A = this chain, B = another copy of it.
């Protein structure tokens, strides 16, 4: 790749190390960046370094955030006794966008997956259990809503959490978000497992 000169080559290489950016997009981005106003490039570079050094796991819900505790866990408007368990911070963001959930979250940062060697200790499960009990051994939550993905890993993780919470013997309800036909979904194009689950989960009108 010495037809670009080494700076562009290095930039292409470092950009294509990011997820979802292939050789072609990295090349397009690199040439775009090389022609951008210098301050703008500096601003992007700074925001990268800044995000990496400022961002930590929230001490309560483990989402990625500035400082010790995330804005949601700090908010007095949220119901802190209702905890939605999600696989990652992007799933949290997706639920926040609905604007219809006023509880708090717990971010696992993964799902149990024996195939890829991710066990219960590799995700933030210990931190979840710690949150469910106060110092006096009383339940510090009323409900845990499991919103892991509807994949094999997500489902196993959900089952595992149910078992874990049951062992605490506390009056905490554990629920799972519904599986079914997505809004706007065309029945004829939806897989059988989803259709079966949608039938099983039917509700009275």
Contacts and interface: CB of A to CB of B under 8 A. Distances in A.
Interface residues of A, number: 59
Interface string A15-28: 10111110001011
B66 A7 contact: yes
A52 interface: yes
Q: What is the predominant secondary structure among interface residues of chain A facing chain B?
A: helix
Interface in A7-63: 7-8, 10-11, 13-15, 17-21, 25, 27-36, 38, 40-55
Given A7-B55, A10-B51, A52-B33, A44 B72 contact: no
Contact of A20 (B28, B38, B89): B28
Contact of A44 (B14, B46, B90, B93): B14
Contact of A3 (B27, B88, B96): B96
A2 interface: yes
A64 interface: yes
A71 B3 contact: yes
A32 B40 CA distance: 22
Contacts of A20: 25, 28-29
B51 A33 contact: yes
Contacts of A27: 90, 93
A116 interface: no
